[in-house]
């Protein structure tokens, strides 16, 4: 795999070439006639079309992340701030008001076009000063057998504490590994999540935390009163606030309504969830509220069952995942690229198949990464999964290994059935509710150890993804 660059090509032709010049640009671009103006021709982006088709294919179940795709081409330009699209790397920010191509055109084009081989498009020959990392297929050792352990109990949790209530720094990693391998008992979850989400510091005493909580409670109430004091008249001239308020109200009304804690039209917990999210708008007005945040807030409120505690735990989580919700979507783009790179190493057969079937941009995994499998697992399993991820063990990118594990388990189905992009999207979407969490967790951990055993042969960027110790002298190829 070659390092990739954008190349600006200097096109020159002689008078002898003029008869063929009109067809020359078509070697590099695809043109579409405008749906608005028949006299206008626009340059179509194959990857933007792939994105539109990806999200459209997921709309069959009314997915929250695809409801804004009624106008997919322009939404692909702006939708990252609304969480309905997620890889804005191929569209130009200046074209936010670009001329639109009809939905029919995009679907037809998606079926006709094959994605050009990016390595062929962007391959350049390095001069003596260039740096390239060539990736060849690796022979990986067998994956070890991994077994899930029992959930951490309060008794075991407390055994890691010192007399003043703080945690023993020397044993903290061991405690986190226990949580990673077994999760938490339900009785412990409320206390432990406060630490895992950075609301409570591992090394602060109970007395210190109570003082801090008093200050945070006052701060929360002050921010809450700010938005509650905005009158209807003020709101009519406060567009950003009004828009965000509308999004919060709409999302809360449909978030986890099958969970008893949130069932019923007059359920007071819905009001608390809405108040939390509106207060977060005031806390972080630059980001505000983006569709999908309620997916993260609801389980936290359920576990905490306390508005103040839930809010500050949510703040701690958002500090980690905020880049997923920002307009440039650089973080989502990065994770998609990392996922593709990992799959190339772990399952090159599937990676090659996806590339040959216009699916190697991993668009079909966007929901997994964006809301951390919230739609794939039950509410209770989601809580178990998230606390495992929050430990940061065994590496910061364990979420991506979970994606790899699931894709790896579906290799035979995808290839034997000769799925194309649309079928892959549908199949992945249909996995919701049919995945065994323990199997996914053990498989992902086994893949981690498989790669760890070969880390001296792994490319540098793969070692960095998995936080393996860097050895500048280690070869990046076998």
- Same domain? 267 vs 177: no
Domain final position from 305, 322, 339: 322
- Evaluate whether residue 307 is within a structural domain: yes
Q: What is the pLDDT of residue 63?
A: 42
- Same domain? 352 vs 477: yes
DSSP conformation class of 84: S
Q: What is the pLDDT of residue 37?
A: 53
**CATH classification of the domain holding 269:** 1.10.8.270
Containing 169, the helix (H) or strand (E) segment is: none
**CATH classification of the domain holding 335:** 1.10.472.80
Q: What is the pLDDT of residue 46?
A: 52
- Same domain? 268 vs 349: no
Q: What is the pLDDT of residue 292?
A: 85
Q: Residue 467 sits in which domain range?
A: 140-185+328-478
> Residue 353 CB: number of other CB atoms within 10 A?
18
- Same domain? 161 vs 227: no
Domain final position from 122, 154, 173: 122
Cα–Cα nearest to 342, from 202, 197, 187, 138? 138
- Same domain? 215 vs 249: yes
- Same domain? 313 vs 339: no
Q: What separation in angstroms does the CA of 116 have from each of 57, 300, 322?
A: 22, 44, 33
- Evaluate whether residue 87 is within a structural domain: yes
- Evaluate whether residue 478 is within a structural domain: yes
- Evaluate whether residue 438 is within a structural domain: yes
Say how many Å lie between the first and final Cα of the chain, rounded.
14
10-residue mean pLDDT profile of the chain (478 residues): values are 45 57 55 54 55 45 40 40 35 29 35 36 35 61 94 96 92 97 97 98 94 98 95 91 92 92 92 97 93 93 98 97 83 89 95 90 86 94 97 95 97 93 87 95 96 92 85 37
Q: What is the pLDDT of residue 98?
A: 33
- Evaluate whether residue 4 is within a structural domain: no
- Same domain? 313 vs 201: yes
> Would you say 379 and 260 are in contact if contact means Cβ atoms under 8 Å apart?
no
- Same domain? 335 vs 272: no
- Same domain? 346 vs 317: no
- Same domain? 334 vs 409: yes
- Same domain? 233 vs 316: yes
Domain final position from 322, 337, 371: 322
Domain count, the chain: 3
Q: Sort 337 into a burial class: Cβ within 10 Å, 0-12 / 13-18 / 19+.
A: middle
- Evaluate whether residue 242 is within a structural domain: yes
Q: What is the pLDDT of residue 476?
A: 35
- Evaluate whether residue 241 is within a structural domain: yes
- Same domain? 117 vs 145: no
Question: Is the whole model's pTM more than 0.95, yes or no?
Answer: no
- Evaluate whether residue 31 is within a structural domain: yes
């Amino acid at each position: 795999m070659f390092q990739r660059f954008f190349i600006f090509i200097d096109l020159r032709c002689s008078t002898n070439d003029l008869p063929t010049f009109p067809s020359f640009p078509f070697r590099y671009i695809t043109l579409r006639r405008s749906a608005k103006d028949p006299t206008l021709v626009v340059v179509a982006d194959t990857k933007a079309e792939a994105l539109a088709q990806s999200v459209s294919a997921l709309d069959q179940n009314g997915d929250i992340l695809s409801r804004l795709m009624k106008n997919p081409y322009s939404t692909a330009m702006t939708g990252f701030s609304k969480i309905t699209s997620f890889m804005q790397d191929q569209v130009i920010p200046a074209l936010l008001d670009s001329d639109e191509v009809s939905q029919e055109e995009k679907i037809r084009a998606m079926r006709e076009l094959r994605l050009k081989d990016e390595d062929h498009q962007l391959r350049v020959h390095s001069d003596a000063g260039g740096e390239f990392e060539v990736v060849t297929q690796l022979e990986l050792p067998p994956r070890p057998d991994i077994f899930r352990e029992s959930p951490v109990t309060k008794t075991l949790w407390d055994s890691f504490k010192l007399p003043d209530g703080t945690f023993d720094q020397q044993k903290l990693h061991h405690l986190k590994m226990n949580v990673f391998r077994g999760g938490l008992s339900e009785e412990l979850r409320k206390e432990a999540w406060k630490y895992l989400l950075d609301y409570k510091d591992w090394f602060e005493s109970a007395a210190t935390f109570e003082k801090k909580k008093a200050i945070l409670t006052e701060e929360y109430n002050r921010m809450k009163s700010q938005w509650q004091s905005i009158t209807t008249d003020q709101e009519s001239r406060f567009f950003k606030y009004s828009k965000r308020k509308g999004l919060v109200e709409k999302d809360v009304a449909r978030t986890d309504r099958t969970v008893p804690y949130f069932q019923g039209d007059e359920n007071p917990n819905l009001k608390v969830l809405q108040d939390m999210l509106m207060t977060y708008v005031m806390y972080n007005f630059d980001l505000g509220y983006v569709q999908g945040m309620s997916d993260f807030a609801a389980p936290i409120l359920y576990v905490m069952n306390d508005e103040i505690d839930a809010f500050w735990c949510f703040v701690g989580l958002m500090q980690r995942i905020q880049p997923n919700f920002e307009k440039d979507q650089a973080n989502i783009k990065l994770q998609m690229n990392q996922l593709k790179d990992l799959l190339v190493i772990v399952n090159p057969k599937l990676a090659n198949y996806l590339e040959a079937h216009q699916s190697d941009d991993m668009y079909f995994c966007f929901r997994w990464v964006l809301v951390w499998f919230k739609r794939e697992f039950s509410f209770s399993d989601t809580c178990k999964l998230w606390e495992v991820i929050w430990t940061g063990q065994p590496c910061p990118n364990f979420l991506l290994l979970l994606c790899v594990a699931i894709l790896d388990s579906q290799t035979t189905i995808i290839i034997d059935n000769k799925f194309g992009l649309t079928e892959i999207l549908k199949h992945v979407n249909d996995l919701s509710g049919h995945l065994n969490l323990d199997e996914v967790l053990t498989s992902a951990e086994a893949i981690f150890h498989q790669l760890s055993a070969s880390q001296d042969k792994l490319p540098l960027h793969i070692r960095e993804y998995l936080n393996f110790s860097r050895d500048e002298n280690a070869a990046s190829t076998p």
